[in-house]
Amino acid sequence: MIYFDHSATTKILPEALEAYVKTSQQIIGNPSSLHDLGNQASLLLEKARAQIAEIMEVATSEIYFTSGGTEGNNWILKGTAFEKRKFAQRIIISAIEHPAVYETAKQLAKIGFKVDFVPVDQRGFVKIDEFKHLLGNDVILVSIMGVNNEIGSIQPIKEIAKILENYPTIHFHVDAVQAIGKIAKAAYLPKRVDFATFSAHKIHGPRGVGFIYLKKGKRLAPLLAGGGQENNQRSGTENVPGIVAMAKALRLSMENHQQKIRHVLSLRNALGKFLKSYKKVSLFTDITNDFAPHILTFGLKGMRGEVMVHAFAEKQIYLSTTSACSSRKKMPANTLKAMDIPNKIAKTAVRISLDESNTVTEIEQFMKVFAQLYEKFENVF
């Protein structure tokens, strides 16, 4: 079995799973309880928070736990909107955001907020001049993803951050779910960023847990009301085993970070060069440093993406039709649409997403299977 769908989810590390099981079995108290068992849970929770903060090089008080990327993105967009509504009501996002941002912004538009979408160029990068043109004193939030989940384009976060230095009252949010562990932290979390979203299951942690970075001094209206957990910002009993396992997975994912990136990059480049040699293949991801090392999206002209996914699955090679969130709906990639790629071609898109656990042998097996499928489908297109 060859797994090439790490952008959808990753296999939990044995060490993280062990931490999850051990915490579940031994730490039975609610961290909000006043007794000793509650204190044990609370201490472990805060230790995990401190570990994550240290790795991210931020203050411990700037880390808040969530159920994952979707909740984090919803909270930051809606929390900003409700907190700053009395001052202004305009939000700027890119045209290629993950549905957790894109659909949340559309929800806010339905209740009176003005949402502007920054267009992207034909390679999938935010147009900076267009972004500058949209800025104004009535903007309360800018939300731009660090790495695009469908083609892997690394967005110009540093450049946007520099521009926003002239607009200190605008909240700046980065969806960093696909960035953490894949590119340098400085590329998605410069000082001007106020909020960032992260998800454990993208870095070999458990599903259903994540965290956000919330810069000290910035305010968000709570999305969940209740018992006042997470400093009255995010109510609900914390998932202590999941959080402990996430901290462990994050630490391990950052070990030998540069070496892992170089390995994944070499695999992606080998795949890209191979696919480029086929006349009927469209490469939507450039094999350059402007794109994250772990994502390679391509299409076979005349062949719908889901057909390719099923054909590879029969050979026990698992990839996806771009975003996992839209693949079952058989929708063309929102990113490719924003790049003005014709719908007929966009529907062919297939995403390979790699990880440091993938091997050269797996790449060679993929090439062998692809060559066979290309020959099989040649008469169709």
Q: What is the pLDDT of residues 32-58, one digit of tens each?
A: 999 999 999 999 999 999 999 999 999
Q: Computed from CA positions of residues 289, 290, 295, 300, in that sequence, does the dihedral angle turn out positive or negative?
A: negative
Q: And the tokens for 108?
A: 């806010």
The pLDDT score that the predictor gives to residue 324 is 53
* Distance from chain centroid for Cα 83: 25
Contact present, 4 and 313 (Cβ < 8 Å): no
* Distance separating alpha carbons of residues 285 and 351, to the nearest angstrom: 9
Helices assigned H by DSSP within 61-219: 69-84, 99-110, 128-134, 157-164
The pLDDT score that the predictor gives to residue 377 is 79
Using CA atoms, how far residue 61 sits from 47, 57, 185, 193, 300, in Å, is 12, 12, 19, 16, 48
Name the nearest CA neighbour of 27 among 39, 18, 12, 15: 39
Domains and CATH numbers, the chain: 2-9+257-377 (3.90.1150.10), 14-253 (3.40.640.10)
Using CA atoms, how far residue 342 sits from 188, 282, 284, in Å, is 30, 12, 12
Q: And the tokens for 89?
A: 């009501």
* Distance separating alpha carbons of residues 261 and 291, to the nearest angstrom: 12
Spell out, as residue ranges, where the chain has pLDDT lower than 70.
323-332, 380-381
Helices assigned H by DSSP within 329-359: 334-338, 343-346
The pLDDT score that the predictor gives to residue 381 is 61
Name the active-site residue from 55, 134, 135, 325. Answer: 325
The pLDDT score that the predictor gives to residue 378 is 72
Report pTM.
0.94
The pLDDT score that the predictor gives to residue 332 is 56
Answer yes or no: 320 catalytic: no
Name the nearest CA neighbour of 65 among 214, 253, 218, 250: 214
